[in-house]
Amino acid sequence: MYRFLRTPRWWGINVFVLLAIPFCVFMGTWQLGKFEDRVDSHREAEERPAASSLKAEPLDSLLPVDKATSGRSAQARGRFGEQFLVPDRELDGRKGAYVLTLLRTDGGRSLPVVRGWLPTGADVPAAPSGEVTVVGALQASENPGTKGVHTAGGLPEGQLGMISAAALVNVVTDDVYDAWITLADSPTGLTPVPAAAAAGTSLDAKAFQNLGYTAEWFVFGGFVLFMWFRLVRREAEASRDEALGL
């Protein structure tokens, strides 16, 4: 009844099943591992002292930005230069823009400083003149996947869609830090922009997406095995009926 399993067609089916099931198990385990890494990173971030409670450190000592330094209070000195608006940014459910001003530091590089959030249509406060010292939460450069980022282009002059050195390289001639800070104390007319958690340390939708993919891969593996049994049973029944002359 089961001689059909030795035919070339069934050799192909069997090889596919023998490869597909371990692959599904491997992928499911890998996605589960990524979710567990996110949980561990989230736990470690919660156990660390609050970034705002730590003493401000010189900017260069906290670079490059990683999970440990993201959100840390950074200090830099220089003069404010070019100013941009970063549109379509929400704060407390309201739409507005970030006011980003480049700080030309004493080291010769420019640091993007988000001085605060501005409601749509409001006047932009001028940046202070002269030598200033700024203190704010250190943040990693944004990327196309960051919430609120505008990547379609076509923005008016003086506006940026993404806060990153890559977005500024074609706008300014200065060498720009691959990081930015958001001021804890914004000037009058602006609302401070809260620091975002470091990438990979929060249990957000992406973390639970990994958990969902874990379940999907294990379901796929079970489905492959189920369909193999169904096909074998159907073929065996067909062989038996043929032998009986049915």
Closest CA to 227 of 4, 23, 1, 17: 17
Range scoring the smallest mean pLDDT among 154-163, 173-182, 192-201: 192-201
Contact status, residue 31 vs residue 210, Cβ threshold 8 Å: yes
**What is residue 108's predicted lDDT score, i.e. its pLDDT?**
86
Higher pLDDT, 38 or 16: 16
**What is residue 50's predicted lDDT score, i.e. its pLDDT?**
55
Contact status, residue 192 vs residue 184, Cβ threshold 8 Å: yes
For 24, 63, 88, 97, the CA distances from 16, given in Å and listed in that order, are 12, 49, 49, 54
Task: Report residue 230 as tokens.
Answer: 């169904």
Average pLDDT score over the chain: 85
Rg (CA), the chain: 28
Task: State how beta strands 131-140 and 179-183 pair.
Answer: antiparallel
Can you give the pTM of this predicted structure?
0.65
| DSSP designation for 214 | H
List, for residues 149-165, the tens digit of each pLDDT value.
887 777 888 899 999 99
**What is residue 156's predicted lDDT score, i.e. its pLDDT?**
86
What phi and psi, each to the nearest 5 degrees, are found at residue 82? -60, 145
List, for residues 58-114, the tens digit of each pLDDT value.
999 999 988 778 888 899 999 999 999 999 899 988 899 999 999 999 888 999 999
